[in-house]
Amino acid sequence: MNENNSEKSQDVYSRTAGTYSRLGEPYLEAISKGSPPELPDFIKLLPSHADVLDVGTAGGRDAKVFADAGMHVTGVDTVDVFLGKARKDVPNATFIKMDMRALDFPEKSLDGIYANASLIHLKKDEVPPVLENFYRMLRQGGKLHIRVKEGEGEQEIAEKLSQNEKRFFAFYTQIELEQLITAARFKILRSRIIPDDFGRSDLKWVSVWGEK
């Protein structure tokens, strides 16, 4: 990636993080009832007391589910107000301010990585090295959950959920996401198209589970 493209990528990522900062806790309240229905089944794939990384943890909504299941959870995000809420609501987990493109957890230190609706905020050309890093951090047999919006292309979009403020999204076909995950050396365990948790009829999600 050349320098200009890198700056452009950082701009859209930073602008989206800025949008979330402005939305703050009211946004977290709006998504509080939208925990993915596939989460309990993903937890069943993990060992007891698994070490789990929640990438783009927001207010810790899903991290709480892992923690309540007895797992050692670390959530990462770049939005301070989100991390503050997560630390308050999920005291039995750890939350760190960290860019998902620069995760520096030790090699083979995790049993599971949960990236739910987080990679959608990265430019597509930034995703392959992120997936390679996921592979590095997982132990052998470690499990990966990725969920992205179904579609094609990349754009900044204003939605009702974001109070009509713009957020950057990258959209993926099912095949496209599967190819990215297998290129990062993961074995695909399950791949599905699922409806939106909030009942938006114009939106579907691609949910893929991988194994190292």
pLDDT in tens, 102-153: 999 999 999 999 999 999 999 999 999 999 999 999 999 999 999 999 999 9
pTM of the model: 0.90
- Residue count (the chain): 212
Instruction: Supply the CATH classification number for the domain 3-211.
Output: 3.40.50.150
Which residues lie below 8 Å from residue 10, measured CB to CB, with a gap of 6+?
none
Q: Is the dihedral of CA 175, 9, 36, 135 positive or negative?
A: positive
Name the phi and psi angles at 78, rounded to 5: -110, 0
Q: Can you tell me the distance from the alpha carbon of 117 to that of 147, in angstroms, rounded to the nearest whole number? A: 5
Tens-digit pLDDT profile for the chain (212 aa)?
333 444 444 477 778 787 776 776 777 787 777 678 899 999 999 999 999 999 999 999 999 999 999 999 999 999 999 999 999 999 999 999 999 999 999 999 999 999 999 999 999 999 999 999 999 999 999 999 999 999 999 987 767 666 667 778 899 999 999 999 999 999 999 999 999 877 777 889 999 999 99
Is 192 in contact with 207 (CB distance < 8 Å)?
yes
CA angle 121, 123, 127 (to 5 degrees): 90
Extended beta strands in the chain, E state: 51-55, 72-77, 94-97, 110-116, 138-149, 154-158, 166-170, 187-195, 204-211
| Residue boundaries of the structural domains of the chain | 3-211
